Amino acid sequence: MTLLETRNLSGGYRALTIFSDVNLTIEPNTITGILGPNGAGKTTLLKTLAGLLKAQSGTIRLDGNDVMPLSAHDRARHGIALVPEGRQIFQGLTVKENLGIPRSASRFSAVEFDRRFEEILTIFPRLRERLGQLGGGLSGGEQQMLAIGRALLLDPKVLMLDEPTQGLAPIMVSQVLSSLEALRGRFSMLIVEQNRDFLDRLSNSKFVFRGGKLEQTT
Amino acid sequence: MNPLTQSLISGLMSGAVYALLAVGLVLAFHTTRVVNLAHGESFAIGGLVAATLADAGLPAYVFAPVAIAASVLFLLAVERFLLRPRRSWPIGNLILVTLAAAFLTRGVLQLAMGVDPLSFPRMFTGAPFRIAGGVLPPQGLALIVIGVTTAVAVTLFLLFTPLGRKLRAVAENPDAAELLGVNVDRARSLAFGIAGALGGLSAVLLVPLVSVDYQAGLGMTLRGFIAAALGGMAPATVILAGLGLGLSEALVTNYAGALAQDPIVFIALIAVAVWQSRKIAFGGTGRA
Amino acid sequence: MKIMKFAILTLLAASTGAAHAADPFVVGIVAPTTGSLTTVGLRQLSAVQWWEKKVNAAGGIVGRPVLVVHCNDEGSPEKSASCVRDLISKGSVILLNASVTGPIRAAMPLLQNGPVMVTPSPNIVPSPASYVFQTSPSDVDLTKSIASFLKQNKLDRLAMLASTDASGEVGVASAAEVFPKEGIKYDLARIDLRANDASIQLANIVKPEVKVVFSNYSGGGAAAVVKSYNNLSLAQPLIVSYANISDAFINVIKNDLPTRLLGTGLKAVAPEMLDDPARRKHVEDFMASYKEMTKDNVDMLTLLGLTLADTADAVLRNVKDPRDAASVRTYLETNPVPSIQMLRWSKDRHVGMTADDVSVLEYKKGKWVKADPVQ
């Protein structure tokens, strides 16, 4: 059964339409990549799927259920997680506090949450070393790990990542890549990137955004 | 009587009120980035409701909770009906919206409650405490103890509880918090509700020692704001700033006279503002 | 239909005719009805409006109705000046000013050529060359009444609290003028208008040898002084200022009344102290009629409002052309105006009452009466 499906989805800001008629199907436990230049509408699409922006028309279904009426925090509770562009970690909260924010919204039970919390620190050992530090004091790569780790604690059905390699040193890019590869098959991912090699390594299927329309590519 | 001891007692009493007001302002500021200029109206509403109910013969265990509830409802309404629908507006405009709310409330209170100052009987009565030549009425002691304890409790709640962390997360980045399943609207309601309770509580504790009228709100907002600004809008430090402000005002009054009070407080405020803007200019972590 | 048409025509004719025959006398009043001095302004305004209704119900003055036009100065000097300009442009034949020291002073320079402005503020001592008349005793007179009260009680020490605004400055100057001459030593402390605690000031000035404390602080904030007095459990009688002899003030301090609450007030506040039966009757009639009309009690602020109304009334009845400011001034300088007490101005003095018109009163069983001696 299809996990996430959009039909004729259009979105943008107020009167301005950024993308239109997007028909996207994401199967369980797959990785989908979306390429496209700056301003093509990739970020707008992810924000619309996550519920931060209201869709202008069309439908979004998760496990066959309409999620359009749900607010962003409710979609997060139902398993749609977004690691936003620029990481958006809470700079004034410690690493541990950042990771604790999704606790009550998580689909994990309390016991399971604590177990997964440990697992995140195993996947990203750098975070364990920095647990007591403020988020604002982390390097770009560490912030990306924290942002991904935080979203994983929601127990997502689909994890959306907006430009996860942006601004990272090559060594950090490969670290992020290997950790995402390690997570392959546990849930679906939808990754928006300008780095084609990164997507080639990860994705089962790829799309490209051209003029506000989504096209399948190889 | 010993004027110095009396200054310290008096300073702690006003300091406790400044701390309560400042913590309320900081809570609202931290979840919406808006300096809520209608904050002091929660004091005026709480005080006037308590005085009116007390005048109607109701006992303190009825009028005090009802007054605090009225203050809570007021700030919940400010958040729900004035700020939430205008979330996309620039912060400066939202601050003006709260100022408008303050003036509107003042007008409504004038029509509903009249213009004369009101007060109500103390809840803590009995012989005053005499300490080293100073006199502290039981209501004053309650004001200091309950005021400071509550301000500290709210700060601890913000710093060390999961809910408090969520409020801080919402303050810093509402979209990111929303993506992690935090209901930002509910968090803001909670913050404004607590702020309202603090405003109402300070009225219930302070008004029996002074008086309250329909226009008490903005003055209270100003006092809370000075303490909040001196404390850098951080919940833990504003309590100290509030107490420090109260004590220094009292000591200035004692040693230099009431005429010197305003100039000294405002010079201190300007000095802190200059110091903080320097910190920002030289790459500190503080946000303007 | 015919009847209707006739009725309408008759009404129209009557109303236009009346407008020609009886242009109203415009009486302008400046009174703060918002801001921290609201009580001061509203209570005086209300007395003047009582007079307006009363006079018009009786057919006006020499057949002309009275129109009272109010301007709210919010207790601010800038607004006060623009109020006065506005009221003059609306054709006021006489101006009443129910505001306080700062705003009244700001308006005075605008009256070089009239019209006459009447105010009850004891802090205003108008130059006899001006068009300003004051219906109270001066602040010096009020201070003198305290001095004579102390001397009657064989006391030579006083603790005094004064606010930090213009009214406080006047009080401080009067004290310096009166008390040393009378051999009275006094300790002075100042209190900020926004302060909600006066215990530091009181701790500084109320020493064991001080038997009486005087708070020269008007407006609602003065409650803080009384409350602090109670917080410190001070037992000395407390004298409050002239402007606080009001129900509103008593209401706010009713849970914290000092052992003995005294105040400097006009004798008319306790009508039994008035020697002249005509004055006593005037005050008692006003108290009854005002209560019937407004369901509110008369206090000293209302009585001060009545001094404004009585002065306007005397001018409109007795001056041939009240638009001529010079003849209004001459009239007031040469004729006493009967009000709650006699207002007596002269070419050398534009202050209507003296220290003899004032007494130290005491609040007992819900009423202001002549003060008992201090033990």
Structural domains in chain B, CATH included, are: 3-281 (1.10.3470)
Q: How many Å apart are CA B17 and CA B221, to the nearest integer?
A: 11
Check B179 against A77: CB less than 8 A apart.
Answer: no
Q: Which of A197, A165, A189 is closest to A87 using CA atoms?
A: A165
Q: Residue C3 pLDDT > 60, yes or no? A: no
For the stretch C54-79, pLDDT in tens is 999 999 998 999 999 999 999 889 99
Check B6 against C203: CB less than 8 A apart.
Answer: yes
User: How many C-alpha atoms does C10 have within 13 Å on its Cβ side?
Assistant: 6
pLDDT value of residue C179: 95
Indicate if C159 and C259 belong to the same structural domain: yes
pLDDT value of residue B96: 93
Check C36 against B6: CB less than 8 A apart.
Answer: no
Residue B214 DSSP code = T
Q: How many Å apart are CA A139 and CA A169, to the nearest integer?
A: 10
Q: Residue B14 pLDDT > 70, yes or no? A: yes
Q: How many Å apart are CA C350 and CA C356, to the nearest integer?
A: 16
Nearest chain A residue to B159 by CA: give it: A93
Q: Residue C52 pLDDT > 90, yes or no? A: yes
pLDDT value of residue C289: 95
Asked if the C-beta of A72 comes within 8 angstroms of chain B's C-beta atoms, the answer is: yes
**Cβ contacts of residue B157 below 8 Å, gap of 6+?**
B163, B164
Asked if the C-beta of A82 comes within 8 angstroms of chain B's C-beta atoms, the answer is: yes
**Cβ contacts of residue A217 below 8 Å, gap of 6+?**
A35, A206, A207, A208
Residue A90 DSSP code = -
| Contact between C29 and C42 (Cβ < 8 Å) | no
Q: Residue C36 pLDDT > 80, yes or no? A: no
Average pLDDT over residues B99-115: 90
pLDDT value of residue B280: 53
Asked if the C-beta of A154 comes within 8 angstroms of chain B's C-beta atoms, the answer is: yes
| Contact between C35 and B213 (Cβ < 8 Å) | no
Indicate if C236 and C366 belong to the same structural domain: yes
| Residue B175 with chain A: CB contacts under 8 Å | 52, 72, 84, 88
User: How many C-alpha atoms does A67 have within 13 Å on its Cβ side?
Assistant: 27
Nearest chain C residue to B213 by CA: give it: C220
Q: Which domain holds residue C38?
A: 2-137+278-354
Q: Are strands A158-162 and A16-26 parallel, antiparallel or unpaired?
A: unpaired
* Residue C375 resides in a domain: no
How far apart, in Å, do the first and last CA atoms of chain A sit? Answer: 24
* Gap from B187 CA to chain A (nearest CA, Å): 12
Could you tell me the CATH number of the domain that includes residue A162? 3.40.50.300
Check B285 against A50: CB less than 8 A apart.
Answer: no
Which residue reads 């403020």 in tokens? A134
Please report, for residues A4, A28, C66, the alpha-carbon distance to residue A23 in angstroms, rounded to integers and kept in the order given. Answer: 10, 17, 80
Question: What percent of chain C is modeled with pLDDT above 70?
Answer: 93
Please report, for residues A98, A136, B122, C79, the alpha-carbon distance to residue A132 in angstroms, rounded to integers and kept in the order given. Answer: 10, 12, 46, 58
Here the tokens at position B46 are 């709480």
pLDDT value of residue B104: 95
pLDDT value of residue C5: 53
pLDDT value of residue C243: 79
Average pLDDT over residues B156-169: 90
* Gap from A49 CA to chain B (nearest CA, Å): 11
Regions of chain A where pLDDT drops below 50: none
Which of C38, C230, C231 is opposite residue B115, by nearest beta carbon?
Answer: C38
Which of C164, C190, C196 is opposite residue B210, by nearest beta carbon?
Answer: C196
Chain-centre distance for alpha carbon C72: 16
Check A151 against B179: CB less than 8 A apart.
Answer: yes
**Cβ contacts of residue C315 below 8 Å, gap of 6+?**
C93, C94, C116, C322, C328, C331, C332
pLDDT value of residue C17: 40
Indicate if C112 and C162 belong to the same structural domain: no
The lowest-confidence range among B188-192, C10-14, C61-65 is: C10-14
Indicate if C126 and C145 belong to the same structural domain: no
Q: Which residues of B touch A (CB under 8 A)?
A: 162, 165-166, 168-169, 172-173, 175-184, 285
Here the tokens at position A173 are 């890019």
Residue A20's region, left for phi above 0, alpha for psi from -120 to 50, else beta, is beta
* Gap from A159 CA to chain B (nearest CA, Å): 11
Nearest chain B residue to C165 by CA: give it: B259
Check A104 against B162: CB less than 8 A apart.
Answer: yes
Indicate if C60 and C132 belong to the same structural domain: yes
* Gap from B76 CA to chain A (nearest CA, Å): 21
How far apart, in Å, do the first and last CA atoms of chain B sit? Answer: 46
Here the tokens at position A131 are 């647990």
| Residue C161 with chain B: CB contacts under 8 Å | none
Which residue reads 């007390």 in tokens? B54
Indicate if C336 and C227 belong to the same structural domain: no
| Residue C227 with chain B: CB contacts under 8 Å | 119, 209-211
pLDDT value of residue C187: 93
Q: Residue C8 pLDDT > 70, yes or no? A: no
Indicate if C104 and C84 belong to the same structural domain: yes
* Residue C273 resides in a domain: no
Is the predicted ipTM greater than 0.95, yes or no? no
| Residue C190 with chain B: CB contacts under 8 Å | 257-259
Asked if the C-beta of A70 comes within 8 angstroms of chain B's C-beta atoms, the answer is: no
Indicate if C186 and C244 belong to the same structural domain: yes
Interface probe with A: pick from B180, B186, B188, B285, most Cβ of A within 10 Å: B180
Asked if the C-beta of A108 comes within 8 angstroms of chain B's C-beta atoms, the answer is: no
Element (H, E) at C226: helix C222-231
| Residue B183 with chain A: CB contacts under 8 Å | 71, 73
Question: What percent of chain B is modeled with pLDDT above 70?
Answer: 96
pLDDT value of residue C19: 42
pLDDT value of residue C219: 61
Q: How many structural domains comprise chain C?
A: 2
* Gap from A162 CA to chain B (nearest CA, Å): 13
Check A136 against B285: CB less than 8 A apart.
Answer: yes
The count of other CB atoms within 10 Å of the CB of residue A61 is 16
pLDDT value of residue B287: 37
Helix (H, G, I), strand (E, B) or coil at C173: helix
Q: Are strands C342-343 and C238-240 parallel, antiparallel or unpaired?
A: unpaired
- Is A touching C (3+ C-beta pairs, cut-off 8 A)? no
For the stretch C217-262, pLDDT in tens is 776 567 888 888 888 888 899 999 887 888 878 888 888 899 999 9
Helix (H, G, I), strand (E, B) or coil at C341: coil
Q: Which of A155, A150, A65 is closest to A110 using CA atoms?
A: A155
pLDDT value of residue C249: 84
Check B176 against A154: CB less than 8 A apart.
Answer: no
* Gap from C244 CA to chain B (nearest CA, Å): 12
pLDDT value of residue B231: 87
Which chains have 3+ CB pairs within 8 A of C?
A: B
Q: How many Å apart are CA B23 and CA B227, to the nearest integer?
A: 9
Q: Which domain holds residue A132?
A: 4-217
Which chains have 3+ CB pairs within 8 A of B?
A: A, C
Helix (H, G, I), strand (E, B) or coil at A127: helix
Which of A73, A84, A97 is opposite residue B181, by nearest beta carbon?
Answer: A73
Q: Residue C13 pLDDT > 70, yes or no? A: no
* Residue C126 resides in a domain: yes
pLDDT value of residue C184: 94
Check C189 against B210: CB less than 8 A apart.
Answer: no
Indicate if C21 and C112 belong to the same structural domain: yes
Which of B120, B134, B258 is opposite residue C195, by nearest beta carbon?
Answer: B258
* Gap from A81 CA to chain B (nearest CA, Å): 7
Confidence band for C20, pLDDT divided at 50, 70 and 90: very low
| Residue C202 with chain B: CB contacts under 8 Å | 1, 6
Indicate if C302 and C238 belong to the same structural domain: no
* Gap from B192 CA to chain A (nearest CA, Å): 20
Which chains have 3+ CB pairs within 8 A of A?
A: B
Residue C206 DSSP code = -
For the stretch B120-138, pLDDT in tens is 988 898 888 988 888 898 9
* Residue C271 resides in a domain: no
Check A72 against B169: CB less than 8 A apart.
Answer: no
- Residue C3 vs residue B59, higher pLDDT: B59
Q: How many structural domains comprise chain A?
A: 1
Indicate if C190 and C210 belong to the same structural domain: yes
Average pLDDT over residues B73-80: 95
| Residue B13 with chain C: CB contacts under 8 Å | 197
Beta bridge partners of C97: C30
Q: Which of B84, B68, B99, B47 is closest to B222 using CA atoms?
A: B99
Indicate if C7 and C113 belong to the same structural domain: yes
Q: How many Å apart are CA B2 and CA B24, to the nearest integer?
A: 34
